[in-house]
Amino acid sequence: MLKVENLEIAYGDLQVVWGASFEVPENSIVAILGPNGAGKTTTLRALMGLLPILSGSASFKGDSIAGVATYALVERGLVMIPEERSTFASLTVEDNLELGAYTRRARPYLEETLREVLGIFPRLAERLGQLAGTLSGGERQMLAIGKALMARPDLLILDEPSMGLAPIIVENTFNVIRDIRERGLSVLMVEQHVEMTLEVVDHAYILELGHIVAEGTSIELATDRRVREAYLSL
């Protein structure tokens, strides 16, 4: 579904990603793992058109996404939830969710999708009239994911979904991600918590200082000695 080859990204004058290649097959969960500052978020932002791509190719559902405007990518079914969550604090939960279906792709199915999303996150249904800025961290996470789902994405990108959240909420989130894949979507995750992530994903890449240094299925990586020593608590 998403195919990236030899991506080179610069942040201002500084190059931060070199020759990155990865792929998210249909209906799978893929993760890009790595420590802070590895370039994971930068890569995602470049994919979504928020940063320029120096060279290399990236295609979504067969069509190139280089230079495409961010909102147009959402229109095609590529949706990202950034690290700081993408909810609008000054709007109500309901307005946030409705805005999620802003694209022409999603708008006709607004009612139907809303019912689905509220089914996944019943807590949001209780808080529809509340301003999103008053939600707790976990609730905002739910809203962010729910809002992203409202856009009826084919591929959902999550930037560090576990960041700043209590373990039980993280577990819940990861369950939701599994559920999302069951519904036919593909997921690309970027994470720092290798152990937890490997339990959820099918395939993962490890990004260090702008280079992909390892890849494999979760079992392959979990049994790889270097990976275990560097990232797992073993």
Partner 1 sequence: MTQLILQSAVSGLLVGGMYGLVALGLALAFGVLKVLNVAHGELLMLGGYATFFAFNSWGVDPFVAMPFVFILLFLFGVGLYQLLFRFVTRFDVETRIKNSLLISFGLVLVLQALAVRLFTADERTISTSYSSEAFTIGLIRVPIVRLAGLVVAVIAALILEWLLTRTRFGNAIRATAEDWTRAALTGIDERRIYMIAFAISAGLAALAGTLITLGYSVSPSIGLGWTLKALIVVVLAGLGSMRGIVVAGMFLGLTEGLASVWIGGEYREVVALIVFLIVLSFRPQGFFGRAYA
Q: Which is nearer to partner 1, 83 or 224 (CB)?
A: 83
* Stretch of 35-43, 87-95, 134-142, 161-169 contacting partner 1, by CB under 8 A: 87-95
Using the rule CB under 8 A, is 48 a contact of partner 1?
yes
11 is a site residue for partner 1 (CB under 8 A): no
Token pair in block for residue 181: 């894949």
Q: Restricting to residues 93-152, name those near partner 1 by CB under 8 A.
A: 95, 98-100, 102-103, 106, 147, 151
Span of 20-28, 58-66, 89-97, 111-119 interacting with partner 1 by CB under 8 A:
89-97
3-state secondary structure of 109: helix
Helix intervals (H) in 121-224: 122-126, 137-150, 167-182, 194-200, 218-223
Does residue 82 belong to the site contacting partner 1 (CB under 8 A)? Answer: yes
Residues 127 and 158 sit within 8 Å (Cβ to Cβ)? no
- Cα(117)–Cα(146) distance, rounded to whole angstroms? 6
How many CB atoms are closer than 10 A to CB 180? 20
Give residues in contact with partner 1 (CB under 8 A). Answer: 48-50, 69-71, 74-75, 79-82, 86-91, 95, 98-100, 102-103, 106, 147, 151
